[in-house]
Amino acid sequence: MELTGGSRARLDVSTGTGGSLMVELAGELDLASLPDVAAPLDGLLARRPQPVVLELTDLTFLDSSGVAVLVRIANHFQQVRTRSATEPVRRVIEVLGLAGRFGLDGA
Amino acid sequence: MLKPAPRPLSVVVALLLLVTTVALSFLTWQANANSEQSLLRRQLAQVGTLLGNEATVLQVQLADMGLVATATEADPGAFARFADRQLDETGQSLSLWRVADGQAEQLAQQGVPPLLPEDGADSLAGLQPTGELVMLGILPGQPDRLAYALMPAEPNTDLVVYAEAPLPPDRRLTVPEGSPLSALDLAIYLGEDGEPENLLQSTVPIPIRGTTETTTVPFGNTSLTVVGASRTHLTGALSAALPWIVLGVGGVLAVGGGMTLEYVSRRRAVAERLAAENERLYRQQRGIAGTLQHALLPVVPEIRGVEVAARYVAGVDELEVGGDWYDVIARGPGCCVFVVGDVSGRGLPAATTMAALRFAVRAYVAEGHDIEEVLSRLRGLLDIGTDHQFATVLLGELDATVGRLRLVSAGHFAPVLVTDGRATMLDCPVAPPVGVSAARPAPATVVPVTTAATLVAFTDGAVERRGETIDTGLERLRAAAADAGSRPLEGMLDDLLGELVTEGNKDDTVLLGLRWS
C-alpha cells in the first residue's frame, strides 16, 4: 500500500464483514508520524465503545509513541483483537507486555 | 579575506547572456542601419527631385530668353531687359549668341562678363535647337562658375542663350537649418562619375564620410550625381541608440544575471555554511537537552559490594529531552533497588512524567515498599487516557550478599546478566506498561545469582533499530555484553554504547550496569 504525500503513517476506519469496527494502521507509526494519524484517531475515539479489530498488515514500524496510539484505542474500545501484525510490530507489542491487552493473534 | 573566484556556472551564464546580447545588438544595429540606409535613399531621391526641378527652372529661364530673343529677332535691348529680371543672384552671367558655321557671335550680355568655356565661345556652335538645357561644365574663376546654354527649339534658329552661374566659395552648399535635408551631408557632382573636379556643391568637404548613398538625376543633357550621408541618425536618436541600449542593458543583464547566479550560489554556500553552523548549534542544543536529561538523572550512589555505572545517550533526531531514566537507591551494604524506565513521547511532558515517576519510586522505596507494591502504586500515577503517555518500567531489587535478584517489569525489557563470560537475557513476565490498565499486579521474578555477575538494564534505544525485529537488537546486545563482560564496568558500558548506538540513532538510550562479586 502506498502512502501518499509526506505522511508516513495512516489510520483508516471501516466496518468489517461481521459488522465490527475495522481499524487499519499502516506505515511507520512513531513520534514523528503521530500527527499523520491524530485527526482520524480523534474521530475513532469519539465513537461509542464496541468490539474493534486492529488490522496491522501494513504497519512496518512501531515505537512507544505508536504503541500509545494502540493502547488508547484498546482502552477506549475495551474489546480489541489484533490481526496480521508484522513480526517487528508483534514483538514490540509482546515485549511491552501488551499482547494480551491487544488481543494479538496467538497470544 | 581573499575574494573568492567566481563560480564557473556564473561565468558561463554571464557569457551566454553576453553573447545573446551582442547578437541582439548586432541584429538591432543591422535593422537600424537598414532603415537608416533606406531613409537616406529616400532623402537623396528628394534631393534629386529638387535638383531636377532646378534644371527645369534653368531650362525654362533660358528657353524664355530664347523665345524673347527669337521674337525680338535678337534685339539686344529686349534681351538685356528680360535678362536683367532673371539675374536674381550676383555674379551671374547671361548672354545671347548667334551661331553659324562653327562660329559664335555674342549679341547681348547681361550681368558679369562671361568666362566662356575652355574651348571658347565657338563651342556654343555645336548646340542643337532642341530647347534642352545643355551643361557646359565648370569654369575655373573667382569664383568658379557653372556654364550652361540652351538653343531654342525653333526651326531655323541660330540663337543660343548662354549662362554662367557662380559656384559658392569652396563650393560649399548651405542647407538652411530646419530643412529636411539639414541632417544630410551632401555632395552634388556634375556628370555621373562623381570626380572631385566635377563637384558643384557640397555641405562638407569631400569626400563624404560615413555610410553614403548615391543617386543620379537627369540634369539637362547630362546628369547630376548626389552623394549623401546622414550626419545624424535619420531614424532618430533612440533608434540609433537602440543597439547600444540593447548592448548596454543586455550587458548589465548578463553581468547582473551572472552576478545574481554568483550571488545565489554564494548564498547557497553561505546557506550550507549556515546549515553546518545550525547543525553545530543543533548538536549543542542536543547537548543541552542531554545536559537537562543528565540533570534530571541521578548520580549513581556508592554501594558497598556493588559497583554501579550508568550511561545516558540522547537520540539525535529530537532536540527535546526524552523520557528515559534510571535510578539506583541504596538499601544497605550489597543491597539496592534499581529502576530503568522509558516514558513514551518526548519533550517536557515526557520529562516531567519521567521526573514524577522517578521521585515516586524513590518515595515508595523510602517508605519501605517492595518493588511489586512500588510498581502497583506507580500505575495510579499515570493514565494514558488522560495523559496520552505510558511508561515502561523495570524495577529490580538486588541483594548481593545473598546472591538474589528480583525483577518486575511493566512493559520493559528484562536486563541482561553476564556471568563467567556468558550473557543471558533474563526472562521476566512483562505486565502492561504503567499508564495502561493491568488486570493483575505482576509478581516479581526471582533470579538467584550466586557467582560474580554483571547486570545491564537498558531502554529500547539500545536494541531498537528500524527495519529489524527487536529480537535482533536484543541478541546484538546480549552478544556485545558477553564480549565486553570482562572489561571494567565503566569501559564495558562504553563498549556497549559503541556497539549498539549507531550514528543517527533516533531514540534515547540508557544503560545501567550493576556488578557484584
Query: Per DSSP, which regions of A5-106 are E strands?
Result: 9-15, 21-29, 52-55, 59-62, 80-83
Regarding whether B207 and B134 lie in a shared domain, the answer is no
Is position B14 within any domain? Answer: no
Domain boundary among the residues B118, B144, B167 is at B167
- Distance to chain A for B356, nearest Cα, Å: 19
| pLDDT class of B194 with cuts at 50, 70, 90 | confident
- B469, A61: Cβ pair inside 8 Å? no
- B436, A98: Cβ pair inside 8 Å? yes
Which triple of cell numbers denotes residue B113? 562678363
Q: Is A47 on the interface with B (CB under 8 A)?
A: no
- A95, B436: Cβ pair inside 8 Å? no
Regarding whether B411 and B365 lie in a shared domain, the answer is yes
- B430, A65: Cβ pair inside 8 Å? no
Which chain A residue's Cα is nearest to B412? A96
- A97, B388: Cβ pair inside 8 Å? no
This model of the complex carries an ipTM of 0.81
Tell me what the mean pLDDT of segment B190-204 comes to.
83
Regarding whether B186 and B210 lie in a shared domain, the answer is yes
- Distance to chain B for A39, nearest Cα, Å: 15
- Distance to chain B for A44, nearest Cα, Å: 14
Regarding whether B339 and B468 lie in a shared domain, the answer is yes
Regarding whether B190 and B139 lie in a shared domain, the answer is no
- Between chain A and chain B, the number of residue pairs with CB atoms below 8 A apart is 77
Please report how many Cα atoms fall inside a 13 Å half-sphere around the Cα of residue B14, on the Cβ side: 16
Identify the top-confidence range among A96-105, B67-76, B139-148, B479-488: B479-488
Q: Is B386 on the interface with A (CB under 8 A)?
A: no
Q: Is B469 on the interface with A (CB under 8 A)?
A: yes
- Helices (DSSP H) in B367-440: which residue ranges? 371-379, 384-387
Is position B63 within any domain? Answer: yes
pLDDT at B480 over 90: yes
Is position B238 within any domain? Answer: no
The CATH number covering residue B336 comes to 3.60.40.10
Number of domains in chain B: 4
Is position B186 within any domain? Answer: yes
B208: closest CA among B187, B180, B182? B187
- Grid look-up 523665345 returns B67
Domain boundary among the residues B134, B167, B200 is at B167
Q: Is A63 on the interface with B (CB under 8 A)?
A: yes
- Grid look-up 556493588 returns B306
Is position B247 within any domain? Answer: no
- Distance to chain B for A58, nearest Cα, Å: 13
pLDDT at B233 over 70: no
Give the closest of A63, A68, A94 to B388, CB-based: A68
Return the sign of the alpha-carbon dihedral for residues A69, A72, A75, A77. negative
Is position B488 within any domain? Answer: yes
A9-95: CATH number: 3.30.750.24
Regarding whether B427 and B403 lie in a shared domain, the answer is yes
Give the closest of A87, A91, A97 to B409, CB-based: A97
- Could you tell me the residue range of the domain that residue B259 belongs to? 255-288
- A97, B410: Cβ pair inside 8 Å? yes
Contacting residues for B476 by C-beta, under 8 A, at least 6 apart:
B463, B499, B500
Rounded CA-CA distance B173/B57 in Å is 19
Regarding whether B478 and B383 lie in a shared domain, the answer is yes
Is position B127 within any domain? Answer: yes
Tell me what the mean pLDDT of segment A56-60 comes to.
91
Tell me what the mean pLDDT of segment B68-97 comes to.
78
Regarding whether B161 and B109 lie in a shared domain, the answer is yes
pLDDT in tens, B339-356: 999 988 777 778 788 888
- Helices (DSSP H) in B367-446: which residue ranges? 371-379, 384-387
pLDDT at B372 over 60: yes
Neighbours of B49 (CB within 10 A): 12
- Distance to chain B for A81, nearest Cα, Å: 16
Regarding whether B507 and B380 lie in a shared domain, the answer is yes
Q: Is B409 on the interface with A (CB under 8 A)?
A: yes
Amino acid identity of residue B14, one-letter, is A
Rounded CA-CA distance B65/B67 in Å is 5
| pLDDT class of B375 with cuts at 50, 70, 90 | very high
The CATH number covering residue B145 comes to 3.30.450
> Which residues in A lie closer than 8 A to residue B344 (C-beta atoms)?
64-65, 67-68
Is position B111 within any domain? Answer: yes
Regarding whether B366 and B332 lie in a shared domain, the answer is yes
Contacting residues for A39 by C-beta, under 8 A, at least 6 apart:
none
B357: closest CA among B384, B335, B375, B345? B375
Which chain B residue's Cα is nearest to A98? B432
- What CA–CA distances, in Å, run from A42 to A35, A38, A55, B481? 11, 6, 18, 43
Which chain A residue's Cα is nearest to B413? A95
Which triple of cell numbers denotes residue B101? 558655321
Regarding whether B89 and B120 lie in a shared domain, the answer is yes
